[in-house]
Amino acid sequence: MGVGWNWCRFGELGPGELYELMGLRQRVFVLEQRCAYVDADGLDPRAWHLLGVEGGRLLASARVFERRPGGEGEASIGRVVVDRGARGVGLGRALVAEAVRGCDRLAPGRAIRIQAQAHLERFYEGFAFRRCTPPYLFDGIVHVDMTRPAG
């Protein structure tokens, strides 16, 4: 895949890009995963947005914070999402690798914390994340918090 990675702040997203981003997140998190929650949680304006685009189409995205909201100074990665039609070709791995590189650049010297769906724990271990909480239920899906030491 010839995916290009674009980093932008919320205010830099055009109306079409924002519409496409919210649509991707809703299709995956609300429809596929059946999580009835308000995606517009008020945190997007404070985040960096990593967009994976190919041929003008948004295929993947993650939300990155230099300081985790409500956290203790760690950076964080969340809302990690890959379009259903673009899965199985390593795009998720490329997305997380780019998000980690971005955290290391935007928040040097800070650990990274994520809320991972428990079935993806081994996937994230491949990026040096380690579980730091027992499993817990979040939006009807079992999650674990994981941290990665400062880069």
Backbone angles phi, psi at 113, to 5 degrees: -120, 140
For residue 37, give both structure tokens: 């929650």
Give the pTM: 0.93
Distance (Å, rounded) from C-alpha 23 to C-alpha 30?
Answer: 10
Average pLDDT over residues 100-123: 96
Nearest to 120 by CA among 95, 102, 150: 95
DSSP structure string for 19-54? HHHHHHHIIIIIIIS-----S--S-GGGSEEEEEEE
- Name all domains of the chain by residue range, CATH numbers in brackets: 4-110 (3.40.630.30)
Q: Which residue has the higher pLDDT, 58 or 67?
A: 58
Categorize the per-residue pLDDT at 74 as very low, low, confident or very high, splitting at 50, 70 and 90: very high
- pLDDT at position 36 over 90: no
Q: Mean pLDDT across the chain, nearest whole number?
A: 93
**Per-residue pLDDT at 1:** 55
Average pLDDT over residues 97-116: 96
- pLDDT at position 139 over 90: no
- pLDDT at position 72 over 80: no
- pLDDT at position 59 over 60: yes
For residue 95, give both structure tokens: 């997305």
